[in-house]
Amino acid sequence: MRKKIPKLLLAIILLSLTLITGAVAQASEIDFTVKAILPENQRSKEISYFDLKVVPGKSQTLSLELINDTEEDITVYASANSAITNDNGIVDYSYKDTKKDSSATFTFSEIASMPKDIKLPKKSKKIVECTIDIPKDPFDGYVLGGLYFEQKEDDKAKEKSQGALAVGNRFSYVVGVLLNETDKEVRPELTLNEVKATQKNGNNAVIMNIQNKTAAMIKKLQMDAKLYYENETKPRYENHQESLTMAPNTNFNYKIDLKEQPFVAGNYTVKIKANDGFRDWTWERKFKIEEKEAEKYNATAVNLPPDQKSQWPWLLIIVISLVILAVIIGIIFYFKRKMDKEKKAQQEKYEKLKKSIGQSGK
């Protein structure tokens, strides 16, 4: 039990840091605040999110206080979202419609419900409730989600965002929810799924889908990936990152960015190492980038020099060039031979004429 307590505390610290990052990032312009009203089955009263020990088959009601201190009425959109691991390797609670991971028995969004539209009059407070229906079948490990609150844009904000390229005009809060039933320790189980060439934000990249198949959180994941071309012993591209995080029963796409280099068609091998602080994982996967695939991505890549936009099939070009050269040589040889024949015929005519004139002079 003494070994489990530090791990639980680390998981709580990780979750609180993630939530603080998500909530405070835009707090300078947000017009409302959210406060969790912690229930009796809260594990710790010293934190500002829900960390609950729940019972199979029972419902849990979570209460939150929304406060509008401004002189304007506002509308807040709310949703109970499952935690995912985004492609930056960060636990994320902001996505409402997410695809359920194949390893998950159920997700937080499937068992939690709350009002979608919340009207907050000026200078007011309102209690909002979220109902969680705990499945009858017991589970070990953690279910992680977030109660997401986003402020609806008013007409002035809309006009401003439409008149310019607006970034960061979504004002939101997230209150995390961590559910647990037993004290049984569950360790992460990572697996490598699909490996493929793709394009991310106009940049060529190779992605490797990494899946956490258990209901365990990963607080500090270290990833190292190297990409080898054909039979080369030195990697052409690589990526090393530390302090990544993963939510329970989720997956994300770890990538190797080609930066300003084009895709080259051919056979590749990717070698990956991962460590969560307790265990090592290693994978090796071979895959192929087809010629058409390389040309497609190179043509649309935003960071490639113009001369590298299109990767020509050089072997085909060389063959065509040799054929054209052979045709030209053949044409030259044909006309040279024809001219030699004509010259020979003219010479024979001349000799014959000369001989004829010589004989008549005698």
65-89 pLDDT tens trace: 999 999 999 999 999 999 999 999 9
Q: CA-CA distance, 13 to 27, in Å (whole number)?
A: 21
331-356 pLDDT tens trace: 887 777 878 777 777 776 666 666 66
150-186 pLDDT tens trace: 998 765 555 544 443 334 456 789 999 999 999 999 9
284-312 pLDDT tens trace: 999 999 999 999 999 988 877 665 555 44
Partnered with residue 165 across adjacent β-strands are: none
CATH architecture of 190-308: Sandwich (2.60)
Rounded to 10 degrees, the C-alpha dihedral 79/81/86/89 comes to 120
Q: CA-CA distance, 254 to 195, in Å (whole number)?
A: 10
217 is written with which tokens? 């959180």
Of 65, 78, 67, 64, give the one whose Cα is nearest residue 122. Answer: 67
Containing H/E element for 23?
helix 4-24
Partnered with residue 342 across adjacent β-strands are: none
**Does the structure show a pLDDT above 60 at 110?**
yes
315-324 pLDDT tens trace: 556 767 888 8
Q: CA-CA distance, 322 to 241, in Å (whole number)?
A: 48
Question: What are the sequence ranges of the domains in the chain?
Answer: 4-180, 190-308, 316-362
CB crowding 164-173: b at 16 or more within 10 Å, else e? eeeeeeebbb
Of 59, 61, 35, give the one whose Cα is nearest residue 48. Answer: 35
Strands 142-151 and 117-120: unpaired
- SS3 state at 174: strand
Equal fold, 4-180 vs 190-308 = yes
Strands 50-53 and 172-180: parallel
What pLDDT score does 5 carry? 46
**Does the structure show a pLDDT above 80 at 47?**
yes
Tokens 């989600």 found at: 145
pLDDT, mean over the chain: 85
Residue 30 confidence class, pLDDT cut points 50, 70, 90: confident
CATH domain 4-180 topology:
Immunoglobulin-like (2.60.40)
Q: How far is CA 250 from CA 85, 97, 183, 189, 213, in A?
A: 6, 14, 21, 11, 7
**Does the structure show a pLDDT above 70 at 249?**
yes
Total residues belonging to the chain: 362
